Protein backbone atom coordinates (compact mmCIF):
# COMPACT_ATOMS: atom_id res chain seq x y z
CA UNK A 1 0.00 0.00 0.00
CA UNK A 2 1.35 3.44 -0.92
CA UNK A 3 2.27 5.85 1.83
CA UNK A 4 -0.25 8.44 0.58
CA UNK A 5 -3.16 5.98 0.70
CA UNK A 6 -2.40 4.59 4.15
CA UNK A 7 -4.77 6.31 6.62
CA UNK A 8 -2.30 5.92 9.48
CA UNK A 9 1.49 6.02 9.24
CA UNK A 10 3.13 4.08 12.06
CA UNK A 11 6.81 4.05 12.92
CA UNK A 12 9.02 3.53 15.94
CA UNK A 13 11.91 5.81 16.82
CA UNK A 14 14.88 4.41 18.69
CA UNK A 15 15.70 6.26 21.89
CA UNK A 16 19.28 6.63 23.08
CA UNK A 17 18.95 3.82 25.62
CA UNK A 18 17.45 1.37 23.12
CA UNK A 19 13.78 1.87 24.05
CA UNK A 20 11.29 2.83 21.36
CA UNK A 21 8.82 5.68 20.88
CA UNK A 22 5.87 4.79 18.70
CA UNK A 23 4.62 7.51 16.35
CA UNK A 24 1.14 7.43 14.83
CA UNK A 25 0.36 9.97 12.11
CA UNK A 26 -3.22 10.44 10.94
CA UNK A 27 -2.64 10.46 7.19
CA UNK A 28 -5.71 11.84 5.45
CA UNK A 29 -4.50 15.39 4.92
CA UNK A 30 -6.92 16.19 2.08
CA UNK A 31 -9.83 15.37 4.41
CA UNK A 32 -8.26 17.20 7.36
CA UNK A 33 -7.38 13.78 8.80
CA UNK A 34 -11.03 12.88 9.32
CA UNK A 35 -11.61 9.68 11.30
CA UNK A 36 -12.58 6.74 9.07
CA UNK A 37 -13.09 3.06 9.81
CA UNK A 38 -9.72 2.07 8.27
CA UNK A 39 -8.02 4.78 10.35
CA UNK A 40 -9.72 3.57 13.52
CA UNK A 41 -8.67 -0.03 12.81
CA UNK A 42 -5.02 0.88 12.26
CA UNK A 43 -4.81 3.15 15.32
CA UNK A 44 -6.32 0.44 17.53
CA UNK A 45 -4.08 -2.23 16.03
CA UNK A 46 -0.86 -0.34 16.65
CA UNK A 47 -1.85 0.85 20.12
CA UNK A 48 -2.68 -2.72 21.09
CA UNK A 49 0.60 -4.08 19.74
CA UNK A 50 2.68 -1.37 21.38
CA UNK A 51 0.89 -1.81 24.71
CA UNK A 52 2.23 -5.38 24.80
CA UNK A 53 5.73 -4.53 23.55
CA UNK A 54 8.03 -3.82 26.49
CA UNK A 55 10.46 -2.00 24.23
CA UNK A 56 7.91 0.75 23.47
CA UNK A 57 8.03 3.37 26.21
CA UNK A 58 5.45 5.86 24.90
CA UNK A 59 3.35 6.86 21.89
CA UNK A 60 3.08 10.13 19.96
CA UNK A 61 -0.06 10.93 17.94
CA UNK A 62 -0.04 13.67 15.33
CA UNK A 63 -1.82 14.74 12.15
CA UNK A 64 -0.38 14.91 8.65
CA UNK A 65 0.04 18.40 7.23
CA UNK A 66 -0.23 21.75 8.95
CA UNK A 67 -3.99 22.38 8.91
CA UNK A 68 -5.46 19.81 11.27
CA UNK A 69 -4.76 17.13 13.79
CA UNK A 70 -8.25 15.78 13.03
CA UNK A 71 -11.33 17.76 11.98
CA UNK A 72 -13.87 15.07 12.97
CA UNK A 73 -15.45 11.96 11.54
CA UNK A 74 -15.84 10.72 7.99
CA UNK A 75 -19.35 12.11 7.58
CA UNK A 76 -19.75 11.43 3.86
CA UNK A 77 -19.73 7.65 4.31
CA UNK A 78 -22.07 7.92 7.28
CA UNK A 79 -24.46 10.04 5.23
CA UNK A 80 -24.43 7.58 2.32
CA UNK A 81 -25.29 4.65 4.57
CA UNK A 82 -27.91 6.62 6.49
CA UNK A 83 -29.64 7.52 3.24
CA UNK A 84 -29.62 3.89 2.13
CA UNK A 85 -30.91 2.79 5.53
CA UNK A 86 -33.75 5.32 5.51
CA UNK A 87 -34.83 4.14 2.05
CA UNK A 88 -34.71 0.44 2.93
CA UNK A 89 -37.06 -1.99 4.60
CA UNK A 90 -34.96 -1.48 7.75
CA UNK A 91 -36.05 2.16 8.00
CA UNK A 92 -36.71 3.01 11.64
CA UNK A 93 -34.71 0.04 12.94
CA UNK A 94 -32.06 1.57 15.19
CA UNK A 95 -29.72 -1.34 14.52
CA UNK A 96 -30.41 -1.50 10.79
CA UNK A 97 -27.36 0.43 9.56
CA UNK A 98 -24.38 -1.93 9.67
CA UNK A 99 -21.86 0.79 8.80
CA UNK A 100 -23.06 3.15 11.56
CA UNK A 101 -23.09 0.24 14.01
CA UNK A 102 -19.46 -0.57 13.20
CA UNK A 103 -18.24 3.01 12.97
CA UNK A 104 -19.52 4.24 16.32
CA UNK A 105 -18.65 1.04 18.18
CA UNK A 106 -15.07 0.98 16.93
CA UNK A 107 -14.57 4.73 17.30
CA UNK A 108 -15.75 4.69 20.91
CA UNK A 109 -13.65 1.60 21.66
CA UNK A 110 -10.60 3.41 20.33
CA UNK A 111 -11.35 6.54 22.34
CA UNK A 112 -11.75 4.44 25.48
CA UNK A 113 -8.51 2.59 24.70
CA UNK A 114 -6.68 5.93 24.58
CA UNK A 115 -8.28 7.11 27.83
CA UNK A 116 -7.20 3.93 29.64
CA UNK A 117 -3.82 3.34 27.95
CA UNK A 118 -1.14 2.54 30.52
CA UNK A 119 1.78 3.98 28.59
CA UNK A 120 2.13 7.73 27.97
CA UNK A 121 0.41 9.06 24.86
CA UNK A 122 1.50 12.50 23.69
CA UNK A 123 -1.09 14.03 21.36
CA UNK A 124 0.18 16.99 19.35
CA UNK A 125 -3.10 18.82 18.73
CA UNK A 126 -1.98 21.31 16.09
CA UNK A 127 -4.53 22.99 13.82
CA UNK A 128 -8.17 21.97 13.70
CA UNK A 129 -9.24 19.54 16.44
CA UNK A 130 -12.99 19.05 16.32
CA UNK A 131 -15.55 16.36 17.09
CA UNK A 132 -13.91 13.00 16.58
CA UNK A 133 -10.52 14.69 16.74
CA UNK A 134 -11.24 15.82 20.29
CA UNK A 135 -12.36 12.25 20.97
CA UNK A 136 -8.86 11.05 20.05
CA UNK A 137 -7.05 13.82 21.91
CA UNK A 138 -9.15 14.04 25.08
CA UNK A 139 -7.97 10.73 26.53
CA UNK A 140 -4.26 11.16 25.82
CA UNK A 141 -2.10 11.51 28.92
CA UNK A 142 -0.03 14.42 27.54
CA UNK A 143 -1.97 16.82 25.28
CA UNK A 144 -0.29 19.72 23.50
CA UNK A 145 -2.10 22.69 21.96
CA UNK A 146 -0.30 25.18 19.71
CA UNK A 147 -0.81 28.69 18.36
CA UNK A 148 -2.92 27.22 15.53
CA UNK A 149 -5.08 24.88 17.62
CA UNK A 150 -8.78 25.46 17.10
CA UNK A 151 -11.20 23.19 18.94
CA UNK A 152 -14.98 22.81 18.86
CA UNK A 153 -17.77 20.34 19.44
CA UNK A 154 -20.20 21.57 16.73
CA UNK A 155 -22.30 18.39 16.46
CA UNK A 156 -25.67 20.02 17.19
CA UNK A 157 -25.19 22.01 14.00
CA UNK A 158 -25.39 18.78 12.00
CA UNK A 159 -28.15 17.14 14.04
CA UNK A 160 -25.95 15.10 16.38
CA UNK A 161 -24.94 15.60 20.02
CA UNK A 162 -21.36 16.07 21.31
CA UNK A 163 -20.30 12.41 21.38
CA UNK A 164 -16.88 10.64 21.47
CA UNK A 165 -17.01 11.02 25.25
CA UNK A 166 -18.25 14.61 25.11
CA UNK A 167 -20.98 13.78 27.59
CA UNK A 168 -18.14 12.96 30.00
CA UNK A 169 -15.51 15.65 29.42
CA UNK A 170 -17.93 18.55 28.85
CA UNK A 171 -19.41 17.84 32.28
CA UNK A 172 -15.94 18.26 33.80
CA UNK A 173 -15.26 21.73 32.46
CA UNK A 174 -15.36 24.82 34.72
CA UNK A 175 -18.80 26.09 35.63
CA UNK A 176 -21.27 25.66 32.79
CA UNK A 177 -18.65 25.96 30.04
CA UNK A 178 -19.46 22.45 28.83
CA UNK A 179 -23.15 23.24 28.42
CA UNK A 180 -22.26 26.42 26.55
CA UNK A 181 -19.92 24.63 24.14
CA UNK A 182 -22.48 21.87 23.55
CA UNK A 183 -25.28 24.34 22.76
CA UNK A 184 -23.25 26.76 20.66
CA UNK A 185 -20.48 24.69 19.07
CA UNK A 186 -18.22 27.67 19.80
CA UNK A 187 -14.59 27.27 18.78
CA UNK A 188 -11.75 27.94 21.18
CA UNK A 189 -7.98 28.05 20.99
CA UNK A 190 -4.98 26.86 22.98
CA UNK A 191 -5.37 28.83 26.21
CA UNK A 192 -9.03 27.92 26.55
CA UNK A 193 -8.28 24.32 25.61
CA UNK A 194 -6.04 24.13 28.66
CA UNK A 195 -8.56 26.03 30.80
CA UNK A 196 -11.33 23.63 29.77
CA UNK A 197 -9.23 20.55 30.50
CA UNK A 198 -8.60 19.42 26.92
CA UNK A 199 -4.92 20.37 26.76
CA UNK A 200 -2.12 20.05 29.30
CA UNK A 201 0.62 22.05 27.59
CA UNK A 202 0.71 25.04 25.23
CA UNK A 203 3.71 25.17 22.90
CA UNK A 204 4.68 26.76 19.57
CA UNK A 205 4.28 24.26 16.77
CA UNK A 206 7.82 25.09 15.64
CA UNK A 207 9.33 23.33 18.67
CA UNK A 208 7.80 19.91 17.95
CA UNK A 209 11.03 18.56 16.46
CA UNK A 210 12.94 19.77 19.54
CA UNK A 211 10.43 18.05 21.83
CA UNK A 212 10.79 14.76 19.93
CA UNK A 213 14.57 15.06 20.07
CA UNK A 214 14.43 15.63 23.82
CA UNK A 215 12.14 12.62 24.26
CA UNK A 216 14.64 10.40 22.48
CA UNK A 217 17.39 11.05 25.03
CA UNK A 218 15.33 10.28 28.14
CA UNK A 219 16.12 7.25 30.34
CA UNK A 220 13.02 5.25 29.42
CA UNK A 221 12.25 1.99 31.20
CA UNK A 222 9.49 -0.60 31.56
CA UNK A 223 8.02 1.44 34.42
CA UNK A 224 4.96 3.18 32.96
CA UNK A 225 4.64 5.56 35.90
CA UNK A 226 8.24 6.70 35.52
CA UNK A 227 7.76 7.09 31.77
CA UNK A 228 4.70 9.30 32.34
CA UNK A 229 6.85 11.51 34.56
CA UNK A 230 9.60 11.72 31.94
CA UNK A 231 7.18 12.80 29.21
CA UNK A 232 5.77 15.46 31.50
CA UNK A 233 9.26 16.66 32.40
CA UNK A 234 10.17 17.17 28.73
CA UNK A 235 6.98 19.11 27.99
CA UNK A 236 7.20 21.29 31.11
CA UNK A 237 10.80 22.12 30.28
CA UNK A 238 9.80 23.05 26.74
CA UNK A 239 7.10 25.38 28.08
CA UNK A 240 9.59 27.00 30.44
CA UNK A 241 12.17 27.50 27.70
CA UNK A 242 9.86 29.04 25.16
CA UNK A 243 8.28 31.54 27.49
CA UNK A 244 4.91 33.24 27.22
CA UNK A 245 3.23 34.28 24.00
CA UNK A 246 0.24 36.54 23.44
CA UNK A 247 -1.86 33.59 22.36
CA UNK A 248 -1.36 31.89 25.71
CA UNK A 249 -3.29 34.58 27.58
CA UNK A 250 -6.82 33.88 28.85
CA UNK A 251 -9.19 33.14 25.98
CA UNK A 252 -12.83 34.16 25.62
CA UNK A 253 -14.18 31.04 27.30
CA UNK A 254 -12.34 31.94 30.48
CA UNK A 255 -12.86 35.69 30.11
CA UNK A 256 -16.63 35.31 29.85
CA UNK A 257 -17.06 32.46 32.35
CA UNK A 258 -19.40 34.45 34.61
CA UNK A 259 -21.67 35.39 31.72
CA UNK A 260 -21.57 31.84 30.37
CA UNK A 261 -22.60 30.51 33.80
CA UNK A 262 -25.48 32.97 33.85
CA UNK A 263 -26.63 32.01 30.35
CA UNK A 264 -26.35 28.26 30.74
CA UNK A 265 -26.84 27.76 34.45
CA UNK A 266 -30.59 27.50 33.97
CA UNK A 267 -32.97 24.77 35.06
CA UNK A 268 -34.04 23.80 31.54
CA UNK A 269 -32.55 23.81 28.08
CA UNK A 270 -35.41 26.01 26.88
CA UNK A 271 -34.45 28.67 29.42
CA UNK A 272 -30.78 28.47 28.40
CA UNK A 273 -31.61 28.73 24.70
CA UNK A 274 -33.92 31.69 25.36
CA UNK A 275 -31.10 33.40 27.28
CA UNK A 276 -28.67 32.82 24.41
CA UNK A 277 -31.22 34.10 21.89
CA UNK A 278 -31.78 37.26 23.94
CA UNK A 279 -28.07 37.97 24.40
CA UNK A 280 -27.04 41.45 23.32
CA UNK A 281 -23.29 41.77 22.93
CA UNK A 282 -20.64 43.56 20.90
CA UNK A 283 -18.23 40.68 21.43
CA UNK A 284 -17.83 38.81 18.11
CA UNK A 285 -17.06 35.44 19.74
CA UNK A 286 -20.14 35.56 21.97
CA UNK A 287 -22.34 36.85 19.14
CA UNK A 288 -21.22 34.04 16.81
CA UNK A 289 -21.81 31.44 19.52
CA UNK A 290 -25.33 32.69 20.24
CA UNK A 291 -26.17 32.80 16.52
CA UNK A 292 -24.94 29.23 16.04
CA UNK A 293 -27.39 27.92 18.64
CA UNK A 294 -30.24 29.50 16.67
CA UNK A 295 -29.23 27.63 13.50
CA UNK A 296 -28.61 24.24 15.11
CA UNK A 297 -31.05 21.33 15.22
CA UNK A 298 -33.59 22.03 18.00
CA UNK A 299 -33.84 18.32 18.74
CA UNK A 300 -30.06 17.90 18.86
CA UNK A 301 -29.71 20.85 21.25
CA UNK A 302 -32.22 19.34 23.64
CA UNK A 303 -30.60 15.93 23.25
CA UNK A 304 -27.16 17.39 24.06
CA UNK A 305 -28.56 18.90 27.26
CA UNK A 306 -30.24 15.64 28.25
CA UNK A 307 -27.04 13.71 27.60
CA UNK A 308 -25.06 15.99 29.91
CA UNK A 309 -27.67 15.50 32.61
CA UNK A 310 -27.82 11.72 32.13
CA UNK A 311 -24.03 11.30 32.10
CA UNK A 312 -23.22 13.52 35.07
CA UNK A 313 -22.56 10.66 37.48
CA UNK A 314 -21.69 7.88 35.02
CA UNK A 315 -18.30 6.25 34.62
CA UNK A 316 -16.41 6.85 31.38
CA UNK A 317 -17.28 3.34 30.16
CA UNK A 318 -20.98 3.89 30.89
CA UNK A 319 -20.86 7.20 29.05
CA UNK A 320 -19.54 5.50 25.92
CA UNK A 321 -22.19 2.80 26.24
CA UNK A 322 -24.90 5.45 26.53
CA UNK A 323 -23.53 7.51 23.64
CA UNK A 324 -23.36 4.49 21.35
CA UNK A 325 -27.07 3.76 21.56
CA UNK A 326 -27.98 7.45 21.22
CA UNK A 327 -25.72 7.88 18.18
CA UNK A 328 -27.48 4.99 16.44
CA UNK A 329 -30.86 6.55 17.22
CA UNK A 330 -29.61 9.78 15.63
CA UNK A 331 -28.38 7.93 12.55
CA UNK A 332 -31.63 5.98 12.18
CA UNK A 333 -34.30 8.58 12.70
CA UNK A 334 -32.97 11.95 13.74
CA UNK A 335 -31.68 15.12 12.07
CA UNK A 336 -28.18 13.75 11.56
CA UNK A 337 -28.50 12.85 7.86
CA UNK A 338 -30.24 16.14 7.10
CA UNK A 339 -27.56 18.14 8.88
CA UNK A 340 -24.76 16.47 6.90
CA UNK A 341 -26.70 16.98 3.67
CA UNK A 342 -27.11 20.70 4.25
CA UNK A 343 -23.52 21.28 5.38
CA UNK A 344 -21.40 18.90 3.28
CA UNK A 345 -23.42 17.27 0.49
CA UNK A 346 -25.68 19.91 -1.08
CA UNK A 347 -24.01 22.73 0.89
CA UNK A 348 -27.19 24.82 0.81
CA UNK A 349 -26.86 25.56 4.55
CA UNK A 350 -30.64 25.25 4.85
CA UNK A 351 -31.39 22.13 6.89
CA UNK A 352 -35.01 21.13 7.38
CA UNK A 353 -34.98 20.15 11.03
CA UNK A 354 -37.52 17.91 12.70
CA UNK A 355 -39.60 19.20 15.65
CA UNK A 356 -37.63 19.56 18.86
CA UNK A 357 -39.45 16.78 20.72
CA UNK A 358 -38.69 14.09 18.14
CA UNK A 359 -35.62 12.79 20.03
CA UNK A 360 -37.39 12.11 23.32
CA UNK A 361 -36.78 8.33 23.22
CA UNK A 362 -33.19 8.44 21.95
CA UNK A 363 -31.75 7.60 25.36
CA UNK A 364 -33.56 4.24 25.33
CA UNK A 365 -30.91 1.58 24.77
CA UNK A 366 -31.41 -0.83 21.85
CA UNK A 367 -29.81 -3.59 23.94
CA UNK A 368 -30.04 -5.13 27.36
CA UNK A 369 -27.12 -4.44 29.72
CA UNK A 370 -25.65 -7.91 29.09
CA UNK A 371 -26.04 -7.70 25.30
CA UNK A 372 -24.54 -4.24 24.86
CA UNK A 373 -21.67 -4.39 22.32
CA UNK A 374 -19.53 -2.25 24.65
CA UNK A 375 -20.36 -4.25 27.78
CA UNK A 376 -16.71 -5.34 28.06
CA UNK A 377 -15.30 -1.82 28.44
Asked whether the predicted pLDDT for residue 358 surpasses 80, the reply is no
Predicted confidence at residue 1, as pLDDT, reads 41
Q: pLDDT (tens digit, 9 = 90+) per residue, 110-126?
A: 999 999 999 999 999 99
Catalytic residue IDs: 73, 132, 155, 163
What was the pLDDT predicted at 46?
A: 98
| Mean model confidence pLDDT for the chain | 95
Is pLDDT of 314 > 70? yes
Tell me the C-alpha to C-alpha distance, in Å, between residue 136 and each of 86, 92, 185, 349: 29, 30, 18, 28
Q: What is the DSSP string of 287-338?
A: HHHHHHHHHS-HHHHHHHHHHHHHHTT--HHHHHHHHHHHHHHHHHHSSHHH
**Does 335 have pLDDT greater than 90?**
yes
pTM: predicted TM-score of the whole model, two decimal places: 0.96
Q: Is the pLDDT of residue 353 over 80?
A: yes
pLDDT of 136 > 80? The answer is yes
Domains and CATH numbers, the chain: 3-359 (3.90.226.10)
Distance CA 280, CA 233 (A): 45
Give the H/E segment covering residue 26: strand 20-26
Residue 365 has pLDDT above 70, yes or no: yes
Residues 38-92: pLDDT tens digits?
A: 999 999 999 999 999 999 999 999 999 999 999 999 999 999 999 999 999 888 8
315 CB-near residues (< 8 Å, 6+ apart): none
Distance CA 26, CA 32 (A): 9
Give the β-pairing of 150-152 and 201-202. unpaired
> Is the pLDDT score of 3 beyond 70?
no
Strands, sheet with 142-145, edge to edge from the N-terminal-most edge strand: 8-14, 20-26, 56-63, 121-125, 142-145, 201-202
Amino acid sequence: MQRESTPVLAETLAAANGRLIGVLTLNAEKNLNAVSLPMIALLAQHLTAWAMDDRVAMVVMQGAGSKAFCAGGDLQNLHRTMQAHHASAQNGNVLGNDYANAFFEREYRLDYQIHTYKKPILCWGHGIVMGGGIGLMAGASHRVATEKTRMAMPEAGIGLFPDVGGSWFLNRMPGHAGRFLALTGASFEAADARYAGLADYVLPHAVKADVLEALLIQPWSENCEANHALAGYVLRRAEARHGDYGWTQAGPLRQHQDLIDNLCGRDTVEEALDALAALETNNPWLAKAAASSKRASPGALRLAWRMLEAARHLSLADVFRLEYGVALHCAAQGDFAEGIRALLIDKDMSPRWQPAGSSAAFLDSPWSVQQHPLADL
